[in-house]
């Protein structure tokens, strides 16, 4: 039972550790880290989305029960985080938003893609990219709107809509997803040399994403506010997947085992870097968001191992 888990977890976190170590010793500076991270987000993952969605047999109907299982669970965690931050620490609304997203925003790309594809193979491709494709469409505009409201008290609707729309349609992940859907719908086959270029870019996602994540964590390890971070780490890595799993199996009665496992694994992923990026942009909550990214990623070595071992039974 534990052999397959080790075969999955050790390479994943081994590459992550290499990135962390090289950045810690200054062999890979922060300029290089930003460049590699941008390459992953702006080029490699969009190409993976394009090629995968273009060649995958899409469901004839939208799997609303599948989407509801994940996003209803995510919103439960999100609004619980808002309430707990207000109740326990009386933070500003912007700080509440950063804390809440730190406890509910999964690392679906840099960690989710490598682990889930390695653990479940091709049968996980469609359910994985259904969530990844909708994650940016749902979570990023919501994050933007809530922070704009917190920033100005009552942000003009036009400003909020404009900023959210611009951020959405200039997101490389969304561009890759929509391009793949167009190719799939119209049965467009890429010119062979172009397809090979796309394939080569897509194949670099796993090692580059893991190395970049490890290197990024170096800047997140300082000044961790221990009063708040543990709560959001527990919410992200334990409570979030538990709620999503209950919704998928007990409320929406999803029968496809692989789809349920992908849902739970995505919910169990540690906090993604987006809450920190938003915190930095709006100059609020940087210490909580960065600390949650760091501690949840370290803790996920153990929590994801346990979850994979359970699924391998």
CA distance 130 to 127: 5
CA distances from 105 to 25, 55, 140, 171, 270 (A): 29, 28, 10, 17, 8
Q: Say if CB 229 and CB 291 are below 8 A apart.
A: yes
The tens digit of pLDDT for each residue in 118-127 reads 899 889 989 9
Q: What is the mean pLDDT of residues 218-238?
A: 92
Residue 156's pLDDT band (boundaries 50, 70, 90)? low
The tens digit of pLDDT for each residue in 1-52 reads 556 678 888 898 999 999 999 999 999 988 898 899 889 888 988 898 888 8
DSSP 42: I
CA distance 200 to 13: 23
């Amino acid at each position: 039972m534990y052999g397959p888990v080790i075969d999955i977890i050790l390479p994943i976190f081994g590459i992550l550790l290499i990135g962390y170590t090289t950045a810690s010793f200054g062999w890979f500076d922060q300029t290089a880290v930003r460049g590699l991270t941008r390459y992953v987000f702006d080029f490699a993952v969009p190409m993976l989305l394009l090629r995968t969605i273009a060649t995958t047999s899409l469901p004839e109907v939208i799997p609303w029960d599948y989407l509801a299982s994940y996003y209803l669970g995510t919103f439960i965690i999100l609004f619980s985080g808002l309430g707990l931050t207000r109740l326990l620490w009386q933070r500003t609304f912007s700080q509440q938003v950063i804390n809440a997203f730190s406890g509910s925003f999964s690392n679906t790309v840099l960690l989710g893609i490598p682990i889930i594809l390695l653990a479940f193979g091709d049968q996980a491709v469609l359910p994985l990219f259904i969530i990844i494709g909708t994650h940016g469409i749902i979570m990023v505009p919501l994050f933007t709107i809530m922070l704009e409201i917190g920033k100005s008290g009552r942000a003009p609707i036009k400003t909020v809509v404009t900023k959210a729309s611009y951020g959405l349609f200039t997101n490389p992940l969304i561009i890759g997803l929509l391009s793949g859907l167009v190719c799939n719908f119209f049965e467009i086959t890429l010119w062979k040399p172009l397809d090979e270029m796309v394939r080569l870019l897509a194949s670099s996602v796993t090692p580059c994403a893991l190395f970049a994540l490890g290197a990024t964590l170096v800047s997140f390890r300082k000044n961790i506010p221990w009063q708040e971070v543990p709560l959001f780490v527990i919410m992200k890595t334990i409570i979030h997947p538990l709620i999503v799993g209950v919704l998928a199996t007990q409320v929406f009665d999803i029968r496809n085992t692989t789809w349920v496992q992908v849902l739970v694994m995505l919910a169990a992923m540690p906090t993604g870097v987006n809450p920190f990026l938003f915190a930095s942009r709006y100059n609020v909550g940087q210490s909580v968001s960065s600390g949650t990214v760091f501690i949840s990623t370290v803790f996920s070595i153990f929590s994801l191992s346990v979850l994979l071992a359970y699924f391998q039974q």
